[in-house]
């Protein structure tokens, strides 16, 4: 679990200290509700001091284990976007004028997601940081507000509006997921307890189908991804096309995969595909070594 830990760094400003204090009541609730048998050391992962407050310095959500990502997300959601009120925002020459981040942007329509990195002097989007990794394969999404940071202060409001975009834009989907998770008051363990046998069975069918498709593509040496994987695409790539064909051939499976599956549990995102491939590689290596009768 060490790879999930982000060590606290020296030299944090008073702004980051106040940001950390907002969530002082979160950890006890998480530790109380989480079952140690399912998530060993999750209390360490969710320790207050192990999270980086600065947006640009945070570890990507996709780097956390699938079983703890929602807890990490809930932690950051409860703390809220990092907004250092009172900070002396530095000026940068853009064109012929000196420009800077305006703290007034923290108020109004951007208040629930707009963040500012003191170290990077850049603006970020909290909800896209938390959820964009699960949605970026479904449409175009730049990295300006999640990885690189936005610094074009002369066009701040204009770019914020463009980032939010239309109702079907990725930002809106991320924002809605953030609100949904914010309203959930249940731990990982309790959510598993409340799931019906049908839900668990459907999940197992989706997982097995994704594994079957991945194995076939690996054996055949076919590519997984497609240039355009949107619903309107004529060819979505080997993985999605074969999975859809698999569902058409087996109606029971077809009723629980792809568009019939929960959006946060489809088992088709690039990260899931990569993890399945890595698992296949490990099992193959292990089988070869066992055949050679060599200690692994």
How far apart are alpha carbons 158 and 52 in whole angstroms? 29
Mapping DSSP to helix (H, G, I), strand (E, B) and coil, where does residue 72 land? helix
Please count the residues of the chain.
Answer: 296
Which pLDDT value is given to residue 34?
39
Q: What is the pLDDT of residues 209-256, one digit of tens each?
A: 999 999 999 998 998 998 888 888 888 888 999 999 988 888 888 888
DSSP collapsed to 3 states, 100-145: CCCHHHHCHHHCCCEEEECCCCEEEEHHHHHHHHHCHHHCCCCCHH
Distance CA 161, CA 147 (A): 19
Q: Pairing relation of β-strands 122-125 and 92-94?
A: unpaired
Beta bridge partners of 201: none
Tens digits of pLDDT across the chain (296 residues): 444 344 444 444 444 444 544 443 333 333 334 344 333 444 444 565 667 778 888 888 888 888 888 888 988 998 899 999 889 999 999 989 999 999 999 988 999 999 999 999 999 999 999 999 888 655 445 678 988 899 999 999 999 999 998 888 899 999 999 988 887 754 455 555 556 777 888 888 888 899 999 999 999 899 899 888 888 888 888 899 999 998 888 888 888 888 888 877 788 888 888 999 998 898 888 888 888 876 55
Q: How many CB atoms lie within 10 A of CB 83?
A: 18
Q: Give me the residue spans of the domains in the chain.
A: 2-189, 195-291
The predicted structure's pLDDT at residue 190: 54
């Amino acid at each position: 679990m060490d790879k999930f830990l982000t060590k606290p760094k020296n030299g944090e400003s008073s702004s980051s200290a106040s940001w950390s204090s907002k969530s002082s009541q979160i950890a006890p609730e998480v530790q109380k509700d989480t079952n140690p048998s399912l998530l060993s050391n999750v209390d360490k992962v969710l320790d207050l001091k192990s999270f980086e407050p600065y947006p640009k310095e945070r570890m990507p959500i996709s780097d956390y284990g699938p079983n703890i990502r929602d807890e990490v997300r809930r932690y950051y959601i409860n703390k809220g976007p990092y907004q250092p009120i009172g900070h002396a925002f530095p000026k940068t020459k853009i064109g012929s004028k000196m420009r800077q981040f305006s703290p007034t942007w923290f108020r109004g329509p951007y208040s629930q997601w707009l963040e500012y990195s003191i170290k990077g002097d850049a603006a970020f989007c909290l909800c896209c940081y938390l959820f964009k990794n699960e949605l970026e394969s479904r449409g175009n999404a730049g990295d300006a507000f999640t990885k690189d940071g936005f610094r074009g202060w002369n066009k701040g409001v204009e770019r914020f509006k463009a980032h939010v975009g239309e109702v079907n834009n990725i930002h809106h989907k991320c924002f809605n997921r953030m609100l949904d998770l914010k309203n959930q008051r249940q731990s990982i363990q309790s959510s598993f307890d409340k799931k019906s046998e049908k839900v668990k069975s459907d999940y197992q069918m989706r997982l097995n189908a994704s594994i079957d498709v991945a194995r076939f593509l690996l054996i055949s040496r076919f590519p997984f991804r497609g240039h355009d994987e949107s619903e309107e695409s004529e060819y979505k790539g080997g993985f999605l096309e074969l999975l859809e064909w698999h569902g058409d051939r087996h109606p029971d499976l077809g009723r629980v995969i792809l568009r019939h599956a929960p959006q946060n549990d489809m088992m088709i995102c690039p990260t899931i595909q990569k993890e399945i491939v890595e698992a296949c590689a490990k099992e193959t290596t292990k089988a070869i070594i066992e055949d050679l009768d060599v200690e692994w």
